[in-house]
Amino acid sequence: MLDLQGIAKHFGGVHAVDGVDLTVKRGEILGLIGPNGSGKSTIVNLVSGLFPLTSGRILFDGDDISDLPSHARVGLGIARTFQNIRLFGQLSVWQNLWVAQNSRLQRQEMFFTRWFGGSAGVQAEIERTLEFFDLAHKRHELAANLSFGEQRRLEFARAISAKPSLLLLDEPAAGMNAEEVDQLDARIRKMRDDGFTVLLIEHHVELVMSVADRIAVLNFGRKIAEGPPAAVQDDAAVREAYLGT
Ligand code: ADP
Ligand code: MG
Q: Please give the chain's pLDDT, 245 residues, in tens.
A: 999 999 999 999 999 999 999 999 999 999 999 999 999 999 999 999 999 999 999 999 999 999 999 989 988 999 998 888 889 999 999 999 988 887 766 555 555 555 555 667 778 889 999 999 999 999 999 999 999 999 999 999 999 987 889 999 999 998 889 999 999 999 999 988 888 999 999 988 889 999 999 999 999 999 999 999 999 988 888 888 876 65
The fold of 1-77+164-245 is Rossmann fold (3.40.50)
Q: Report how far ligand 2's centroid is from the alpha carbon of 140 (Å).
A: 31
Listed in sequence order, the residues at least 6 apart from 102 whose beta carbon sits closer than 8 Å to its beta carbon are 109, 110, 113
Query: Would you state the pLDDT for residue 119?
Result: 67
Helix, strand, coil fractions of the chain, as percent rounded to 5: 45, 25, 30
3-state SS, residue 167: strand
How many CA atoms lie less than 13 Å away from 15 in the CB half-sphere?
A: 11
Ligand 1 atom 12: residue of nearest CA: 16
Beta strand 2-11 pairing with 14-24: antiparallel
Ligand 1 atom 7: residue of nearest CA: 41
> Which whole-number Å values give the CA distances from 67 to 18, 55, 61, 89, 169, in the listed order?
19, 11, 15, 31, 22
Q: Report how far ligand 2's centroid is from the alpha carbon of 40 (Å).
A: 5
Whether 153 contacts 135, CB under 8 Å: yes
Ligand 1 atom 15: residue of nearest CA: 37
| Residue 215 to residue 211: CA distance in whole angstroms | 10
CA 218 to ligand 1: nearest atom: 3
pTM of the model as a whole: 0.90
- Domain regions of the chain by residue span: 1-77+164-245, 88-161
Query: Would you state the pLDDT for residue 220?
Result: 94
Pocket of ligand 1 (CB under 6 A): 11, 14, 16, 34, 36-42
